[in-house]
A and B are shown apart, each in its own frame.
Chain A
Amino acid sequence: MSANLIPLLWDATLQTLYMVAISALLGTLGGLPLGVFLATSQRGELLSAPWVNKVLGLVVNATRSVPFIILVVAIIPFTRALVGTSIGTNAAIVPLTLAAIPFIARLVENAIREVEGGLIEAARAMGATPLQIIRKVLIPEAMPAIALGLTLAVVSLIGYSAMVGAVGGQGLGDLGIRYGYQRFMPEVMAAVVVILIVLVQLVQSLGEWIAARLDRRAPRNRGH
């Protein structure tokens, strides 16, 4: 591999990290409250609002049904209105975030639903408000599962970020297609794939480590 490809790969890696980090952050900011609401708003639950729950559930399902590459193209006018352009990393963040929100919402919803009902009852018996129960019981207790869910979401976003290369989104996927495929430079393609594998491995290991740190459900060795 020639030396002038190294800065190219480096830049593309940074672009991918930037897109994934910002969309994961924004996706969490949107998906976490949405997931909590979906998990607590069915009839008879803490924030009982069955109709709102149904409508939001439909919207989430609809968004998740659209193939990502179609979502990217379909919302180009929206993207342009929001960031002023439809190409580049900033533009790519818009569809990535839009895909991340419902995905993360469902993961958070599942994590919250796993929290034992007895804990909610205990908190109600203490005189907790629904918001206190969410803040002090549901989210802390679901945290290990939420951390694993977010890990899965980030790994998916790394994959999605490769696709936005197709519409001028830059990043590793874009580099792999333009140099590795269109310019017949298999060594670039190979480098891109290796970097992606390493990134996913790092994210997965980090996520699992964080989740294990948060998980207090099993006794821990106190030998030292």
Chain B
Amino acid sequence: MSGTAQNDAAIIFDRLGKSFSKKGGPRVMALDDISLVVPRGSITGIIGRSGAGKSTLLRMVNGLEQPTEGRVEVSGHDVGSARGGALRAIRREVGMIFQHFNLLASRTVWGNVALPLEIAGTPAAQIRTRVDQLIDQVGLGALRDRYPAELSGGQKQRVGIARALATSPKVLLSDEATSALDPETTQTVLELLGRINRDLGLTILLITHEMAVLRDIASHMAVIEGGRIVEAGPTYDVFARPTNPTTRSFLSGVTGATLPAFVASRLHPEPPGDQVIRVTFAGSHATDPMLSLLATDLGITANILGGAIEEVGPHPFGNLLISVDAARADQARAYLERHGLSTEVLGHVR
């Protein structure tokens, strides 16, 4: 992978590492052996808890942080080794939006969007037409002469997006861009990002701590924990077949299938009692009547404890919590797995 960039990759992290050493203390690995390919034209999301290293990882893409090991490539440029003018040239091809927007209070909406163009030395006439176009693109035409203090959070982030797009970058980095917004505004900002991704073919790399953000717009995702990537792949596959406990715990919050309290309080890891199973329906199976098939084919009846069907990207995705007689649980799970569903044993209830 080292050497030339893959043609279909917008960003390549290759055995990337970052360590700090505090005075007198041991070296702390903030990021360890990160290898990840961000496909061109994708919306790739990296999820992790605070302190997991996702922010450091994102900042390496435009050289705000330097790796101590490995390399990061953006559109074929080795960012880690670029300095001075070469690094600034790469940064102009990478837009960035922020959780707290980072707009200049002293400039109007128009002035904020114009800033990256002024920095790039764009002629004034060109700046005028480009900024007008960008402001219309994000739907802020009426607010062009307002100052950031006069805008709502969602409007500020639209200004941030217009500003990030000003120099026509190939890649957009999003640093928790919706974390300071209410759920409704989050939706409209995510929709705008999705539209930009489709219309401009722009690759978006975002970091978040909310699985719902990935579910709604990310085509690819990675889970980062303790400075390492513990799971990565197309979002749908990760949602359907999570292998890592961290991924599962992030997923439990969004896939609608949390155990009812009266079950959760009585749940214990070993028999006796009925086995509680989480069944994940993915793709074409999501709408199959699997539980009735289970009853007619094997004569096993399942109690439904909870569940939901929602969409991950364009695909239906179901999640069901059932309990079955412990003696026949293995048989039931094998049957379900054979039909393309994934199962996870959560415990037992008497």
Partner-B contacts on A (CB < 8 A): 116, 118-119, 121-129, 132, 136-137, 140-141, 143, 214, 216-220, 222
Contacts and interface: CB of A to CB of B under 8 A. Distances in A.
Contact of A128 (B88, B102, B147): B88
B100 A125 contact: no
B344 interface: no
A114 B96 CA distance: 23
Contacts of A125: 62, 64, 91, 94-96, 173
Contacts of B167: 126-127
Interface in B148-163: 148-150
A132 B119 CA distance: 7
Nearest to A137: B104
**What 5 A-B pairs have minimum CB-CB distances, sorted nearest first?**
A127-B91, A127-B88, A122-B102, A118-B102, A125-B96
Contacts of B96: 122, 125
A121 B120 CA distance: 16
A146 to B, nearest CB: 11
A127 B118 CA distance: 11
A16 B173 CA distance: 56
B49 interface: no
B135 to A, nearest CB: 17
B149 A217 contact: yes
B107 interface: yes
Interface of B: 62, 64, 87-92, 94-96, 98, 100, 102, 104-107, 115-116, 118-120, 147-150, 167, 173
Contact of A118 (B94, B100, B115): B100
A140 B150 contact: no
27 contacts: A119-B102, A122-B96, A122-B102, A123-B119, A124-B64, A125-B64, A125-B94, A125-B95, A126-B116, A126-B119, A127-B87, A127-B89, A127-B90, A127-B116, A127-B119, A132-B119, A140-B104, A140-B107, A141-B104, A143-B106, A214-B106, A216-B105, A216-B106, A217-B149, A218-B149, A219-B149, A219-B150
Contacts of A118: 98, 100, 102
Main secondary structure of the interface of A (DSSP, over half): helix
A121 B94 CA distance: 14
B105 to A, nearest CB: 5
Nearest to A125: B96
A136 B149 contact: no
Contacts of B106: 140-141, 143, 214, 216
Given A118-B100, A141-B104, A220 B64 contact: no
Nearest to B116: A126
Interface centre among A126, A127, A141, A143 (most CB of B within 10 A): A126
Contacts of A124: 64, 91
Quick one: which of B91, B107, B119 has the most chain A CB within 10 A? B119
Given A121-B98, A126-B115, A127-B88, 8 more contacts: A119-B102, A121-B64, A124-B64, A125-B96, A140-B104, A140-B106, A141-B105, A222-B150
A207 B100 CA distance: 31
A128 B119 contact: yes
